Each structure stands twice: as structure tokens, then as C-alpha cells.
Amino acid sequence: MTTHHIAVIPGDGIGLEVTPAALEVVQAAGRRHGFGFRFTEFDWSCERYRREGAMMPPDALERLRGHDAIFLGAVGAPGVPDHVSLWGLLIPIRRAFRQYVNLRPVRLFEGIESPVRAAIDLVVVRENTEGEYSEIGGRMNRGFPEEMAVQEAVFTRAGVTRVLDYAFTLASRRTGYLTSATKSNGIVHTLPFWDELVRERAADHPNVRWDQEHIDALCAKLVLEPSRFDVIVGSNLFGDILSDLAAAVAGSIGLAPSANLNPERDFPSMFEPVHGSAPDIAGRGVANPIGAIWSAAMMLEHLGHPAAADEVVAAIAAILAKGDLRTRDLGGTASTEQFTRAVLALLTP
Amino acid sequence: MTTHHIAVIPGDGIGLEVTPAALEVVQAAGRRHGFGFRFTEFDWSCERYRREGAMMPPDALERLRGHDAIFLGAVGAPGVPDHVSLWGLLIPIRRAFRQYVNLRPVRLFEGIESPVRAAIDLVVVRENTEGEYSEIGGRMNRGFPEEMAVQEAVFTRAGVTRVLDYAFTLASRRTGYLTSATKSNGIVHTLPFWDELVRERAADHPNVRWDQEHIDALCAKLVLEPSRFDVIVGSNLFGDILSDLAAAVAGSIGLAPSANLNPERDFPSMFEPVHGSAPDIAGRGVANPIGAIWSAAMMLEHLGHPAAADEVVAAIAAILAKGDLRTRDLGGTASTEQFTRAVLALLTP
Ligand SMILES: CC(C)[C@H](C(=O)O)[C@@H](O)C(=O)O
Ligand SMILES: CC(C)[C@H](C(=O)O)[C@@H](O)C(=O)O
């Protein structure tokens, strides 16, 4: 029996509640399909930061490196600045392991109330290691009238090309349609370069029909005609915005999964729900586990078990369609545990 | 009788159709309230660019400077790169005349089908002269594997403070609630500076309750609970995204107005609909004139005629509520001309 070695970082807040749910589900899927897991848990979190002064130990990346994948719950806690919790854990992992594709599927499930009445089934492919999230820049003249901050967005040919190739290939396997997010009318150095590279890569993927939209208009269209879209590719910032927005249009951020992929498999990939640690509802067992469970399904697919992954997503869809088990964020009263049990019940060996 | 001297730049595409509509409406408002206009029209446009190689003549800013306000239709045409049309006209005017506030009200009118069923009445205050729209940056190693583009976002204490002060003051005149758009968790130089300045300015506006949201979460919340918001302040890029998104949530971009304000009145302010030149429907008399007419109402307010401005917006609201006159973008068949006549009929002296 194959055993997958998974590094697990439950993190903070509801990360501690949805992570066990997701791990139970993948184990159940493994029992049906003949594979198993060995989980190594790491307590890296804001809790740890308060105790030790760092989100992770100095050898953290070394310790993660040997695993087949990383599962992350959520990080962030009141009183710990976001840039500490995120740049001390999430972002270094994405970068050190060249997880340059952040894949964020969005579907409108039957049984979910969405602000729009439309079929939605799309994937946002977000560039995940460079772009607007850059450490380059700083501040001058602190406290004086002339004070200023600058921040350099950096787009490299290699970095943009690889994520575009991933997106075009994905589009050719889906409906053959790709939309590129840009803002080259206002942002005149990086985004015209992005647009050029899109045209360049498009030439190598002649089977994909593509267009581009400025981010402002694209956000508007995602609300007014979400069914139009299939694969949307965007920079680090634009992909972040579009995936949260699309998830909201499909009813809730609580459902949204994500995969931070190193497609070359030189390093482990990382799977995490899009939602945060939600300190306001943490500890009460009411968090929606769907984002985590669906992220875990993406991990199954990455580990070579697409049928098992499909079954997990089908189980989520079936329970939502039935409509009697919904967590609070979806207007119901089901607990994390009740929803998870229902998924497990559909995955008996 | 006061006569206001207005510089008019109809621009391209439907700009040429909605601009006359808006000017007729402000003239009608003037006849009711005892003021008049002298319009000076400028043919600055992509058309002109094709003929002369420049969107505007070298002395364009000098020629605009003496006017009480500028009214702009829309610029942009197929075959003329966006960065030419925009950085050759719109953006230089915003910057040269220190129009650092871009004010974008959004309302859900009765009679409009919106993706959400909620009351919406908010204003986006967008920083309009610096931030992510910067000329600083460039490209290296063109065509080689090491090619890269960098773009520097620049936030100055003066630039951010002045727009925040405007937004806090506006909030205190409305419901006393302000939301600041940020992304200081991912973008670690400019946006933490923005957040600091928000806290600093908040201390001087103790009557305003405020919070901040990361742009990704804020976009999601604008879709899921738009009624929550009143004044939203954001950087150049974030304000652009939020105002288009909010307009879509309220049913259509075709309704959205904007004012590019120089609050000190050292220079003329500029009023323009948020929509673009829409070459696909230009020349057919079917463009929605509401964005332009509402922008013209904002111009009336700026010129010291708030009662006249309110009447124009009330006329738009009354016609939409009646529901029999809607342009194509709103699912109707009314022409630009028919809608405009209906507004004028409500503004007889
Ligand atoms: C055309 C573009 C440069 C412009 C902007 O982003 O400023 C437009 O979208 C707007 O909102 O006025
Ligand atoms: C927490 C934050 C830095 C992060 C991001 O923007 O990358 C999050 O919003 C996400 O989407 O994973």
C-alpha cells in the first residue's frame, strides 16, 4: 500500500478545527482506494510566535522538504501583525518551494444561495511567487512631511511564462477558454509585459481561445456574467482578488479551496482553504470544513488519486444539494463535526 | 446671471453621444435655477491622435486651466493602445490639476435589477494621482530569458493624508462610517504605511467610526453584504477596482459617475462617467447617458448648485423607478435621446 507522508500545519483559530476534518476525509478516501497516510504535525502558528518569537523554527523549510505534500489550516491571530504571521510562514513556504501556481477552483453548488442566479464553474490560476507581493521597497523620511513608501512589483519572464503555460494547458483540458487579468492601461511597466507574454504563450497553445480584461472591468463582469468564465489567470494580487470575489459570487468564502503547486514536483506542494483563521468563531466547532476538505481533495489529485478526489467533491456536492446540513456561514446550524460525519458516511469502503 | 465656463472633451465612441445629453441636462437645470454655461469644446481624442500623432496639443493643459470645470465623455478607440489614449489625456489632466480625489458614488436605484437584493448607497473615494499608477519603473534584458519588468508604487504622506482627510470629512457628513481598503498582509511597504496614516487621520476625526479590510475580503463583502458600507477609501488601484465592482453590484457600470476633484480649487476639476468609449455600440444612439448625466450633476454640485444637482439625480431615479424607459444595458430598448428627453421633461423651468 502506498503511504503518503504529509506535513500538517493546523495553524491558528479555525485552522485547528477544519484540519482534522480534512485529514479524516482523506484517510477515508484512502481506505476506499487502497492508499494510506503518515501525518507529521507541526505546531507552527501565532501561538508559537507568542511563545518563541517566530512562527516557525529556523530549520522549518528543511523539515518540510521531504514530505509528499503540506496541508495548512490557517494562520493569523489577534495581536500578531498579519505581515508577521504571513511572511513568517505562508509566504516563505510558497516561495522556497517554488509553488508558483496557486490554483483556486470556484463552483456554484446546488443548494447554495448565491447572489447571482447563474452556473459557475471556473478556476483562478494565480501567480504565487512574485509580482506585487514583493519585499523590494521601503520607507524614507519617517514622520516628516516628505515621508514616502515605495514598493516594487517585479514580473520576470520566467515567472510569468511558467504560470501562463500552466493556465493555458489547464484551459485546453477544460473548455479551451482563458481570460487574462490585466491593468496595462493604468500600470504601464509590469502589465504591458504580462500582456506581451500572454500573446507569446497563446501562440504556443493555438487550441485555446483567450481574451484579456482590465481588473476593474473583470471584477464587474464576474458579478454580472460569471458563467462566461472558465480559466482566469492573474498576477499574485489580481489572482488573490479575483479568487475571493469569485468565491463570494458563488455564495461563500468558506467553501473555497486552494492548491499552491510546484508543478515540477521538485518540492512539496501545499494545500490550504482560502479562508483565514476566523478568530471570531474559533473554538466553537461551527467552522465550515468544506474549504479544507476540498483543498484536501486537491491534494489527493496531486498525489495521483483523481478518482478519490472526485468522490470527495461529489460527497460535498451531494450533501449541499440535500440541503439539510449547512454550517452557519451558509445560513444553517450544522457543526463542523456534523458536516464532516456526513462526508465520511458517503465514503465508506 | 452666473455663467460657468466649462471645457468639454467628448472624446471617442459613445463619449460623443452621452456628452451632449449631459450638457443639455445641466443647461436645463441652469434655466430652473438662474445660472448659465459657456462650453468650449475640444476635439482631443483617438481620432485626433490618428490625425496629429497626439491625443492633445502641447498647450492643452494651459488651455484647460482657466475653466471652472472640465467635462469628459470617454477616450479610447480600437487600434490605439490604451496607454496612449489614457496617459496622453486622462491621466495627465488628473495629475497636472492635482485632482487627487476621485469620487465615485454608487446607488441601487429602484427599478434596476441588481445581482443582490440589498439597499446600496455608498461612495468610493479613490486616491487619484499617485500609488500604483506610476511612471517609475521599466524593463530590462528585453527578449532574453532574464527579462523582467519592475514598477514602483509610490505612496507619499502628503498624497495619502489629503485623500484620507477628504474621505473622513465626507464620512462625517454621511453616516459617520468609513472603510479603508488595504492589503498590508501581502504588500508590506506601501500598504502598512497607508494603514498607519489611516490611524493617524482617524485620531483627528473622532466622530467617524472606521475599519479596514484587505482588498480581497472587501471585494467579497461588497458582493455578500453591500449595505454594510458607506464611505470606502482606497488607493488608486484599489479604488478603481472597488468602484467598478460596486457599480456592477448595483446593476450596471453604465450608471456610474465620477468626479476628479481638486478640493482646493487651485485647478479645474473634471467630471466623467466611469464607463469607457464602448466602440462596440458607438454611433447607434443606444448608449446609457446616466453615467454622464449623473457626472454632470456632480459638476453642478461642485459649481455651487447642490439643489440643482439633487434634482437631476432625482429625475434619473424617478424615470428608473417608473421602469418604462431603460437603455439596452439595463435590458430595455430606450435610446440615449429618449432617456435624455425624459430627464429634460422633469426639469422644465
Ligand atoms: C482607463 C483607466 C486608466 C482608468 C483608470 O483606471 O483610472 C479607468 O478605469 C477609470 O477608472 O477612470
Ligand atoms: C493572507 C494573505 C497574505 C494571503 C494572500 O493574499 O496571499 C491570502 O489572502 C491568500 O489568498 O492566501
Grade residue A1 by pLDDT with cuts at 50, 70 and 90.
confident
pLDDT at B82: 84
Q: CB distance B245–A216 less than 8 Å?
A: yes
pLDDT at B209: 98
Q: CB distance B83–A184 less than 8 Å?
A: yes
pLDDT at B172: 98
Grade residue B118 by pLDDT with cuts at 50, 70 and 90.
confident
**What single string gives the DSSP state of each residue in A112-126?**
---SS-S--EEEEEE
**Residue A214, φ and ψ in degrees, nearest 5:** -70, 145
Sheet of strand A137-140: strand arrangement: A137-140, A148-156, B148-156, B137-140
Residue B212 located in a structural domain: yes
User: How far, in Å, CA of A202 to CA of B46, rounded?
Assistant: 28
CATH number of the domain within which A345 lies = 3.40.718.10
Q: Same structural domain for residues A241 and A266?
A: no
Residue B173 located in a structural domain: yes
Residue A108 located in a structural domain: no
- Pocket (CB within 6 angstroms of ligand 2): A 86, 240, 274; B 185-186, 216
Segment A41-91, tens digit of pLDDT: 999 999 999 999 999 999 999 999 999 999 999 999 999 988 888 999 999
Q: Same structural domain for residues A277 and A316?
A: yes
Q: Is B221 on the interface with A (CB under 8 A)?
A: yes
pLDDT at residue B284 above 90? yes
Is-catalytic flag, A266?
no
Q: Is A133 on the interface with B (CB under 8 A)?
A: yes
Q: CB distance B184–A115 less than 8 Å?
A: no
pLDDT at B215: 98
Q: Same structural domain for residues A218 and A121?
A: yes
Segment A308-330, tens digit of pLDDT: 999 999 999 999 999 999 999 99
Q: Same structural domain for residues A129 and A246?
A: yes
pLDDT at residue A240 above 90? yes
Residue B315 located in a structural domain: yes
Residue A1 located in a structural domain: yes
User: How far, in Å, CA of A111 to CA of A255, rounded?
Assistant: 13
Grade residue B193 by pLDDT with cuts at 50, 70 and 90.
very high
Closest CA to B205 of B236, B178, B239, B232: B178
End-to-end C-alpha distance for chain B, whole angstroms: 15
Q: Is A281 on the interface with B (CB under 8 A)?
A: no
pLDDT at A138: 97
Angstrom CA distances, A258 to A166, B89, B120, B308, stand at 15, 41, 31, 51
pLDDT at B116: 82
User: How far, in Å, CA of A27 to CA of A6, rounded?
Assistant: 12
pLDDT at residue B266 above 90? yes
Grade residue A290 by pLDDT with cuts at 50, 70 and 90.
very high
Q: Same structural domain for residues A157 and A120?
A: yes
Q: Same structural domain for residues B36 and B16?
A: yes
Q: Name the domain boundary from A250, A274, A294.
A: A250
Which residue, chain included where needed, has cell 498576477?
A235
pLDDT at A117: 78
pLDDT at A81: 87
pLDDT at A113: 84
pLDDT at B9: 98
Q: What is the DSSP letter of B251?
A: T
Compute the Cα dihedral for B298, B302, B308, B314 and give only its sign.
positive
Q: Same structural domain for residues B260 and B200?
A: no
Q: Same structural domain for residues A125 and A242?
A: yes
Number of domains chain A contains = 2
Percent of all residues in chain B with a pLDDT value above 90, rounded to a whole number = 94
Q: Name the domain boundary from A250, A277, A303.
A: A250
A306 Cβ contact list (under 8 Å, min separation 6): A300
Interface with chain B: mutation pick from A185, A228, A252, highest number of B CBs within 10 Å: A185
Q: Same structural domain for residues B231 and B274?
A: no
Q: Same structural domain for residues A126 and A176?
A: yes
CA atoms within 13 A of residue B225's CA, in its CB half-sphere: 8
B-chain residues near A157 (CB < 8 A): 141, 144-148
Residue A109 located in a structural domain: no
**What single string gives the DSSP state of each residue in B282-300?**
TTTT----HHHHHHHHHHH
Q: What is the DSSP letter of B174?
A: T
CB atoms within 10 A of CB A301: 17
Shortest CA gap A298–chain B (Å): 22
CB atoms within 10 A of CB B202: 17
pLDDT at A82: 84
Q: What is the DSSP letter of A88?
A: I
Residue range of the domain that includes A340: 1-100+256-349
pLDDT at residue A114 above 90? no
Q: Which amino acid, B114?
A: S
Q: Same structural domain for residues A32 and A91?
A: yes
Q: Same structural domain for residues A239 and A292?
A: no
pLDDT at residue B288 above 90? yes
Q: What is the DSSP letter of B255?
A: G
pLDDT, average across residues B44-62: 96
CA triplet B315, B320, B325: central angle to 5 degrees? 105
Residue A106 located in a structural domain: no
Q: Name the domain boundary from B183, B218, B250.
A: B250
Shortest CA gap A57–chain B (Å): 21
Segment A143-193, tens digit of pLDDT: 999 999 999 999 999 999 999 999 999 999 999 999 999 999 999 999 999
pLDDT at B43: 97
A-chain residues near B186 (CB < 8 A): 86, 91, 132-133, 236-237, 240
Ligand nearest to the CA of A213: 1
Q: Which helix (H) or strand (E) holds B38?
A: strand B35-41
Closest CA to B93 of B123, B124, B69: B69
